[in-house]
Amino acid sequence: MGKADRRRWDGNVKSMEIIAKPLDQITEDDLIFLRENYTSAGGLLPNAYSGGAFFTPTHVARFMWDALKPLLPAKPRVLEPSVGAGVFIEHAPSDAEITALELDKTSAKVTSLLYPSVAVVEGDALTHDRRDYYDLVIGNPPYGVSVEFAPPFELEEWTLSKARGRRKGKSEVAFIELAIKAVKPGGYVAFVLPTGLAFANYAKKLRAYMHETCWQVATILLPGETFAATGTTIATQILIIRKAPPNAKLVEPATKKWGSNFRRSDFGDITDYGAKFLEGQTPAYFAKITDIGIDKHGKVTIPDGEESQLDALLEDFTDGGLVRENLYPHIPSWYGVDKGNEAFFFSHGNGMCDGIRDAEYTYSDGPLRWQELTLGAGEEIDGRGTWFDACLEWQDDTLKSSATKT
């Protein structure tokens, strides 16, 4: 075990001692210690099961909140389904109503001590039974862990395989599906996820499910160093989606932009994808962070007060719609043509796509950003800057008409 891991280990051991104390003997200094040192077991022991417990760097969680706050009601109802030590709670608005779920006893206890106003529930998130309730589901779920659980409603559909009333599959798939079920129509899901979800076979049904139930808002690719402090170099992405109402229709994509065919040389034509889009789908915002401000040893490289690439992206998020209307609209970066709705979402994972190619010229210092035309707004898109707002109004109308029908 290296020096940094030894420090983490010692921090966790002392944290366990703190939480074992009677409540009235836990001091302010103890709470500060927990906040700064409790990291759980993720990446510490090579072969140990840690429930995918790799905690998110605080500036990543802060960025997600800063991007989302303008879209939420004043007192949002929030679910953090795998809360760890609560980094996503740290940056939540103070009057949010927050429910936090956590399987690990120690992490659940640490979070409830650090955030006494939050309803922390210790147990398996996948049996959580609130539906169509939250304004936001936010977090970083466990990845690559095999899960098996009995969902709370027997007749509810899941994309995971079923045997004797139980569902089985990969943790990240199950958590995304839970989030979509728990969030209300018009609400948002914002997760840090592995990039493999974009193309891996195990997530095929989930991709189609996401595409058919949610509008895609933004995908931000993060470099491997993001989780270096927890001993992993997995490439991840922030995904933000917005749940559509159940009666939202799937419509054909626009096939031309400003009079010409919607086609870019080797990246094909949008009609090749054989997919439809939810009515009101805006152009989706994409970005790739090339320097997260952490090196491969997990050391923070951005001096305090200096702007990170995520801070730079926030400027893009201030136009009220998460998309800069003046970015050039690119062909969607799905991983395969002719696969229909299951190919949708994310970058196709090999770093090659129409948007990245152009963004590398335009933003050579990073972060790279572009937008992808994913909308189904009739045959032709005929102007800059207007269709994005039109799509948002269309989303709102779709939500309103669904609310009046129920």
Six-digit token pair at 391? Answer: 């799509």
Q: Rounded to an integer, what distance in angstroms lies between the CA atom of residue 45 and that of residue 58?
A: 23
Task: State which residue has the least CB distance to ligand SAM.
Answer: 84
Report the residue from 44, 87, 197, 206 that binds ligand SAM according to the rule CB under 6 A: 87
Report the residue from 38, 96, 102, 208 that binds ligand SAM according to the rule CB under 6 A: 102
Q: Which is nearer to ligand SAM, 206 or 399 (CB)?
A: 206
Report the residue from 99, 107, 308, 371 that binds ligand SAM according to the rule CB under 6 A: 107
Residue 82 as a binder of ligand SAM (CB under 6 A): the answer is yes
Q: How far is CA 345 from CA 110, 216, 317, 396, in A?
A: 35, 7, 19, 22
Name the strand (E) or helix (H) holding 388.
helix 386-405
Q: Which is nearer to ligand SAM, 138 or 313 (CB)?
A: 138
Report the residue from 71, 92, 104, 262 that binds ligand SAM according to the rule CB under 6 A: 104
Q: Which is nearer to ligand SAM, 87 or 244 (CB)?
A: 87
Bridge partners (DSSP) listed for residue 257: 260, 381
Say if CB 241 and CB 177 are below 8 A apart.
Answer: no
Count, residues near ligand SAM per rule CB under 6 A: 23
Q: Whats the size of the chain, residue-wise?
A: 406
Token match 């402090």: residue? 229
Q: Which is nearer to ligand SAM, 140 or 282 (CB)?
A: 140
How many CB atoms lie under 10 A from the CB of residue 15? 24
| Stretch near ligand SAM under the rule CB under 6 A, chosen from 13-21, 26-34, 103-111, 345-353 | 103-111
Residue 83 CB, nearest approach to ligand SAM (Å): 5
Report the residue from 68, 72, 103, 239 that binds ligand SAM according to the rule CB under 6 A: 103
Residue 53 as a binder of ligand SAM (CB under 6 A): the answer is yes
Residue 126 as a binder of ligand SAM (CB under 6 A): the answer is yes
Q: Which is nearer to ligand SAM, 124 or 212 (CB)?
A: 124
Residue 172 as a binder of ligand SAM (CB under 6 A): the answer is no
Q: Which is nearer to ligand SAM, 50 or 402 (CB)?
A: 50
Residue 51 as a binder of ligand SAM (CB under 6 A): the answer is yes
| Stretch near ligand SAM under the rule CB under 6 A, chosen from 134-142, 157-165, 253-261, 325-333 | 134-142
3-state secondary structure of 299: coil
Write phi, then psi, for 6 (nearest 5 degrees).
Answer: -60, -40
Say if CB 405 and CB 321 are below 8 A apart.
Answer: no
Q: Give DSSP secondary structure letters for 326-369.
A: TSPEE----S-SS-GGGG-SS--SSS--HHHHHHHHHTTTS-EE
Say if CB 254 and CB 375 are below 8 A apart.
Answer: yes
Q: Rounded to an integer, what distance in angstroms lies between the CA atom of residue 321 and that of residue 133?
A: 23
Report the residue from 62, 89, 96, 142 that binds ligand SAM according to the rule CB under 6 A: 142
Residue 125 as a binder of ligand SAM (CB under 6 A): the answer is yes
| Stretch near ligand SAM under the rule CB under 6 A, chosen from 14-22, 101-109, 260-268, 316-324 | 101-109
From 87, 90, 199, 188, select the one nearest 135 (Cα to Cα). Answer: 188
Strand 161-163 to 166-170 pairing: antiparallel
Residues 65-75 as b/e (b if ≥16 CB within 10 A, e otherwise) read bbbbeebbeee
Q: What is the DSSP letter of 260?
A: E
Residue 140 as a binder of ligand SAM (CB under 6 A): the answer is yes
Residue 83 as a binder of ligand SAM (CB under 6 A): the answer is yes
Contacting residues toward ligand SAM, per CB under 6 A: 40, 51-56, 82-84, 87-88, 101-104, 107, 124-126, 139-140, 142
